């Protein structure tokens, strides 16, 4: 993917804005490349689509991680309870 869209990645690095949506910002490197024809609009659209897909994947991964944390937390809470119970008996 990085090889396929290497030129776009480079353009984004050249863009002077940090939170640029690369849509309508004047002075945006991507927008200028699109305007001059240096960057094919079709490719730019595919890249945007890819980023959206990757974003979805990231969100899913994070959701799974959070679930794991929750389960681990419950296990720890149970262990702590058992340890305290054992202490109480003694
Ligand atoms: Zn930009």
- In the chain, where the domains are located: 6-65
User: Over the stretch 8-37, which tens digit does the pLDDT of each residue have?
Assistant: 988 998 888 878 889 878 889 999 999 999
Q: Tell me if 28 sits within 8 A of 11, measured CB to CB.
A: no
How far apart are the CA of 39 and the centre of ligand 1, in A? 13
How far apart are the CA of 54 and the centre of ligand 1, in A? 19
CATH of domain 6-65: 1.10.40.50
**Ligand 1 is an ion; residues with CB less than 5 A from it:** 15, 20, 22, 28, 30
Residue 16 CB-density burial (10 A; 0-12 exposed, 13-18 middle, 19+ buried): exposed
Our measurement of the distance from residue 29's CA atom to the centroid of its chain's CA atoms, rounded to an integer in Å, reads 22
Q: How far is CA 16 from CA 8, 12, 89, in A?
A: 14, 8, 66
Between residues 41 and 60, the one the model is more confident about? 41
Does the pTM of the predicted model rise above 0.85?
no
How far apart are the CA of 62 and the centre of ligand 1, in A? 27
């Amino acid at each position: 993917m990085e090889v396929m869209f290497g030129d776009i990645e480079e353009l984004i690095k050249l863009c002077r804005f940090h939170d640029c949506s690369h849509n309508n910002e004047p002075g945006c490197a991507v927008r200028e490349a699109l305007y001059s024809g240096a960057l094919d609009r079709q490719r730019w659209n595919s890249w945007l689509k890819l980023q959206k897909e990757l974003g979805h994947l990231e969100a899913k991964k994070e959701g799974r991680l959070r679930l794991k944390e929750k389960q681990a937390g419950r296990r720890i809470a149970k262990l702590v309870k058992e340890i305290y119970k054992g202490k109480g008996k003694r």
